[in-house]
Amino acid sequence: MPINDPTTAGDAPLNLSPSGFPALKNDLYLRTARGEATERAPVWCMRQAGRYLPEFRAIRVEHDFFRVCRTPALATEVTVQPLRRYAGLLDAAIIFSDILVVPQAMGLQVEMVPGKGPHLPEPLRAPADLARLADRRPGFSVDAELDYVYKALTNTRHALQGQVPLLGFAGAPWTLMAYMVEGGGSKTFALAKAWLFEHPAAAHELLGRIADVAAEFLVGQVRAGAQALQLFESWAGELGPRDFAEFSLPYLARIASHVKRQCPDVPLTVFAKGAHYALEQLAAQTVFDVISLDWTVDPEQARARVDRAAAAAGRRPVVLQGNLDPTLLFGSPEVIRQRTTEMCQAFGSAHIANLGHGMMPSHDPERLRVFLETVHAASRRT
């Protein structure tokens, strides 16, 4: 599927050979993520393929969410849509999928309910429910369960024609556990957090099992064609510092170590949303190459804290990603330009420009264009 040719996705031929990929033409993201000095900050956006795009909504009229995820041609089309719309402005693509494919692979049903979001009709409500999970059953295979994601990655890597690198991703253990226990999103996460304190042994067992599946899944994504990876701990901020140190950080570190042993040259990013208190631990106690920040963190302070922690641990400087408040894209072009310029100046070098969280369904696509163009201009280093 030519990236500039919006061929009907369902009719597009697949290329599922995980070899012979086109040569990469824009490696700015990869060079920056590896800590190299670059001519400007690379830029991409979380949820850059999504409901804010009318071309995405047109596909969703005919196909439900998880059918798009599970159909390689559709996942490819949705992944390349923003690259097509913002030609020359995005420096990375991220495969269209969902963090909840891991709970699905482990045997839980997940539905995407319009207007509500993810719903797990049979959540884990007691430690005995762990026996319902499939990951310890004879013959269980992460690669077999999630092969459709691998096919989408491989097909998309070919479809991108080397324009930009392709990112894979997974949800982190605490975030996935929260969904698996709560049965969906939550304002309080009372059920999931109750597990941590009432059933700590069972909680650690579940977190460890999720970590093992997620780590294997990430390595499989690299084999399928992913050129960089991101781990999303979306609900990190629901934990205080002590509980993050016990129930999130060790599993983030475990996944990162496993992936880096298998794929040492593949850049690895962690996004622990809300865990501003843990920047030092993420920099010193894990092997992530990039730490992504939400918009509540001051970039200059984050840079100083991360640099000190990495140096004390004998690590090379850690790259930072982020962190414009997504709601600023509701502002005027002038406001977006001003605040984006300030963001780029605050981060300085070793920075991957992004939002502090994902694109929103009600965003105007042209406001994103302003953000992307401003990053190109404001971050250029002479």
Examine the residue annotation and report whether 60 is marked as an active-site residue of this protein.
yes
Examine the residue annotation and report whether 251 is marked as an active-site residue of this protein.
no
Element (H, E) at 354: strand 351-355
Pick the catalytic residue from 40, 47, 85, 367: 47
Examine the residue annotation and report whether 47 is marked as an active-site residue of this protein.
yes
Pick the catalytic residue from 29, 52, 150, 179: 179
What count of other Cβ atoms lies within 10 Å of the Cβ of residue 238? Answer: 20
Between CA 74 and CA 45, with CA 324 as vertex, the angle to 5 degrees is 15
Pick the catalytic residue from 31, 60, 67, 315: 60
Cross-strand bridge partners of residue 325: none
Pick the catalytic residue from 31, 51, 209, 308: 51
**Full strand arrangement of the beta sheet holding 166-171:** 93-94, 166-171, 228-233, 268-272, 290-292, 319-324, 351-355
Report the C-alpha gap between 315 and 259 in whole angstroms: 17
What Å distances lie between residue 340 and 7, 274, 289, 297, 326, CA to CA? Answer: 34, 21, 23, 15, 11
Amino acid (1-letter code) at residue 256: A
Cα diameter, the chain: 60
Enzyme catalytic residues: 47, 51, 60, 98, 179
